[in-house]
């Protein structure tokens, strides 16, 4: 089955701890994205990558880091510098069609202990 997988489904972070969220896709999409969703707010873009070994900051990149060493994988690290990390994190990848269309993974819920 083609699709986007995210793990874990739930993640607990202690104060001062870095945590890494996994995102893998087998859709052969070049572009991948990380969003954060908070209650009552629209999805907000954290980072995106249009091609392997390249990525760009989105609207709320502070306190986050990413890597894109493989086309299939785009992990997100939530660092201790992110002071309000509790949220629903969604990874997406995009077709190159017209219009380009984004498809989402099932998400990871991050909770701070």
Partner 1 sequence: RKEVEQDPGPFNVPEGATVAFNCTYSNSASQSFFWYRQDCRKEPKLLMSVYSSGNEDGRFTAQLNRASQYISLLIRDSKLSDSATYLCVVNKGGATNKLIFGTGTLLAVQP
Q: Are 109 and 88 in contact (CB under 8 A)?
A: yes
Mention every residue, 6+ apart, whose C-beta is less than 8 A from residue 14: 112, 113
- When asked if residue 94 is in the footprint of partner 1 (CB under 8 A), the reply is yes
- Of 16 and 42, which has the nearer Cβ to partner 1? 42
- When asked if residue 16 is in the footprint of partner 1 (CB under 8 A), the reply is no
- When asked if residue 3 is in the footprint of partner 1 (CB under 8 A), the reply is no
- Of 90 and 110, which has the nearer Cβ to partner 1? 90
The 8-class DSSP code of residue 99 comes to S
Q: Which residue's structure tokens are 């996994």? A: 22
- Of 18 and 86, which has the nearer Cβ to partner 1? 86
- When asked if residue 64 is in the footprint of partner 1 (CB under 8 A), the reply is no
- Residues facing 56 on adjacent strands: 48
Instruction: Quote the least distance from Cβ 73 to partner 1, whole Å.
Output: 18
- When asked if residue 42 is in the footprint of partner 1 (CB under 8 A), the reply is yes
- When asked if residue 93 is in the footprint of partner 1 (CB under 8 A), the reply is no
Burial class (CB in 10 A: 0-12, 13-18, 19+), 46: buried
């Amino acid at each position: 089955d083609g699709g986007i997988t995210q793990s874990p489904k739930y993640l607990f972070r202690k104060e001062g701890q870095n945590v890494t969220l996994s995102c893998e896709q087998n859709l052969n999409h070049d572009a991948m994205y990380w969003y954060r969703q908070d209650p009552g707010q629209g999805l907000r873009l954290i980072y995106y990558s249009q091609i392997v070994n390249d990525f760009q900051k989105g609207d709320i990149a502070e306190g986050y880091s990413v890597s894109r060493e493989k086309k299939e994988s785009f992990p997100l690290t939530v660092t201790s510098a992110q002071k309000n990390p509790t949220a629903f994190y969604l990874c997406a990848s995009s077709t190159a069609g017209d219009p380009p269309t984004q498809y989402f993974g099932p998400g990871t819920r991050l909770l701070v202990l």
